[in-house]
Chain A
C-alpha cells in the first residue's frame, strides 16, 4: 500500500504560497525564445564565427608570453565564462564522533580516470578471469533478469566532485550543505540502462559497478566500489556504518570506532551491527585498514568487505565489495562478498597512483 505515502505527500504540497507565476511573462519569454531560435537557424552560425574570430584577434593582441590577461577596459578578467573553482583537498577540522555523508556529482572523463579504469580491468582479467559485469534485461514476462557481459562492459572510473555533508543536515543530500568539496575518482556503472542511476551511483547507498566476480549466475551481485581521494582529503576512520541505520552501510570512514551496536536497517526494521577491523602496513609503506561489517537482519547476515589504503603520497583509496540481490528483494539467507579481505586488499594495492585532474 502506498496510500499513506501519497496522503502525506499530498498534505505536504497542499499549503502552497500564493502563485507568482505570470502567464504574460511566460508568453513574452516564450516568444523571445522562438525568435532567438529562428535567428540561430538563419544567421546565427555566421554571427558566431564572426564573434569567435573577433575574440581570437583581441586575445592574440592582448596576451603575450607571461602577460596578464586584461580586457580592453582594464578589468581583471578576459572572459565572462564562469571559471570552476579548484576544489581544495585538505579536509577541514571536524568534530570527533560526528557523522558525515560523502556525496558526489559532476562526472568528468579524463586521462587519469581512463588509466585507473584500465588498471582495474586488467587486474580483474588477470586475477579474476571469471568476473563479469551484470546487466539487467527484460525476461519476456514483464520482469527483469541478470545477464552477464564482459567485465569491462559497464565499468568506468571517472573524476567527480565530492561533497562532505553533515548527516544531521536537514537537506543532507544537497550540495549547498557541504562543509567541504574536492575531486575524487570513483567507479560507476556506465551501462546505458544505468545512465539514470549514475547521478547517485557515487556515494551513499548505491555506489559501485555491478559485477559477478565469481562469474556465477548473478542472483546476488557484487557492487564493487573503488574511490580514490586526493592527498589530505580523507580521514582514516574505521566505522563504515552510520548510526542512523538508514543509509548503512556505505557512509563514512569519518567516525572512529568498530564497536558493535544495534539500530535500524534501511527498511525500518531492527538490525545488529558487528565489525571485524584490522590495520596493517603495506609493502610500500601504505596504511591498510580493513573493515568487515556484519549486519544481522531478520533474514540473516549481510557482510560488506571494505579496504582502506592510505598511501605514502597521502591519497586515500577505498575499495568495497558489497553483495546485493539483483531483484531488490530480501535475500533468503546470508549474503557474503565474493572477494575475501586478502583478495580485496590485493586489488586495492593494484590501483596505480595517478595525478588528480590530468
Chain B
C-alpha cells in the first residue's frame, strides 16, 4: 500500500472507529468485545483497502463486525481471544456503573437473537435503508423487514415493561 493510501486508511480509522465501536456494543452489549470485533474488522479492511470502493467501506466493516460478533456468539464466549497485544491503559468500567436506562436497554437488546439484534441496530439506530441493511446482513430485503419489525416489537414490549415512561408503547 502506498503511503498516501495508508494515510487515508488511518484517517478513516480515526473518523469511524468510535461509531463502529458503538455499533458493535449495541450488537453484543460488551465494550471490549465490540472493540475487539472492530479491530479485527479494520485489520481485514486494511488488507482490502486498495481493492474496494471507499464509499463501500462502512458497509464492509459493519458486515465484518456483525459477522464477527455473531460468529463469536455461536462459538461461545469461553473461546474468545483477545486481539490486542497490550492491556488497556485504563480500567474499562463494568456495567455496574452504567445507568439504569442503559442496563434496561442493553438487557432488552440481549433478548433478541443476534442477527435480529444486528438488523434492529442497523435499521433503527444507524438509520440505514432496508436495502443497505440487506446488503450488510447478506439477506433479502423481506428478511430485513420481517426481522426488523419483529425485533422492534419485542424490544418495544420489553422496554415498555421496564421503562414505560420512555417508550411510545405502540409497535411500528
Cα distance A20–B149 when bound, in Å?
35
Q: Which of A1-36 contact B (CB under 8 A)?
A: 1-2, 4-6, 8-13, 15-23, 25-27, 29-31, 33-34
Q: How many residues of B contact A (CB 8 A)?
A: 87
**A195 CB contacts on chain B under 8 angstroms:** 138-139
Cα distance A34–B6 when bound, in Å?
13
B59 at the interface (CB under 8 A from A): no
**B110 CB contacts on chain A under 8 angstroms:** 170-174
Question: CB distance A328 to B150 under 8 Å?
Answer: yes
Instruction: With A2-B172, A33-B46, A176-B77 as known contacts, state yes or no: A266 contacts B167, CB within 8 Å.
Output: no
B63 at the interface (CB under 8 A from A): no
Q: Which of A70-124 contact B (CB under 8 A)?
A: 82, 105-106
Residue from B29, B70, B172 in contact with A171 in the complex, judged by beta carbons closer than 8 Å: B29
Residue from B77, B84, B124 in contact with A20 in the complex, judged by beta carbons closer than 8 Å: B84
Closest to B95 in A: A170
Instruction: With A30-B46, A193-B143, A196-B139 as known contacts, state yes or no: A9 contacts B9, CB within 8 Å.
Output: no
Question: CB distance B102 to A196 under 8 Å?
Answer: no
Residue from A6, A30, A266 in contact with B47 in the complex, judged by beta carbons closer than 8 Å: A30
Contact code string B29-56 (vs A, CB < 8 Å = 1, else 0): 1010001001100111111010000000
Cα distance A176–B78 when bound, in Å?
7
Residue from B23, B112, B113, B168 in contact with A1 in the complex, judged by beta carbons closer than 8 Å: B168
Question: CB distance B73 to A205 under 8 Å?
Answer: no
Nearest CB of A to B139, in Å:
3
Instruction: With A6-B127, A20-B35, A20-B89 as known contacts, state yes or no: A197 contacts B147, CB within 8 Å.
Output: yes
A331 at the interface (CB under 8 A from B): no
Q: Which of A203-254 contact B (CB under 8 A)?
A: 204-206, 246
A63 at the interface (CB under 8 A from B): no
Closest to A8 in B: B105
**B17 CB contacts on chain A under 8 angstroms:** 19, 21, 23
Cα distance A176–B42 when bound, in Å?
26
Cα distance A1–B23 when bound, in Å?
21
Cα distance A23–B160 when bound, in Å?
40
User: Can you list 18 contacts pairing A with B, beta carbon distance less than 8 Å?
Assistant: A5-B156, A11-B99, A12-B26, A15-B102, A17-B90, A23-B10, A26-B13, A30-B45, A30-B47, A33-B47, A172-B111, A173-B111, A175-B77, A199-B70, A205-B150, A264-B161, A267-B153, A328-B149
Which B residues are within 8 Å of any A CB, using their own CB?
A: 1, 6, 9-10, 13-14, 17-18, 21-23, 25-26, 29, 31, 35, 38-39, 42-47, 49, 70, 73-74, 76-79, 84-86, 88-90, 92-93, 98-99, 101-102, 105-107, 109-116, 121, 124-125, 127, 137-140, 142-143, 145-147, 149-150, 152-161, 166-172
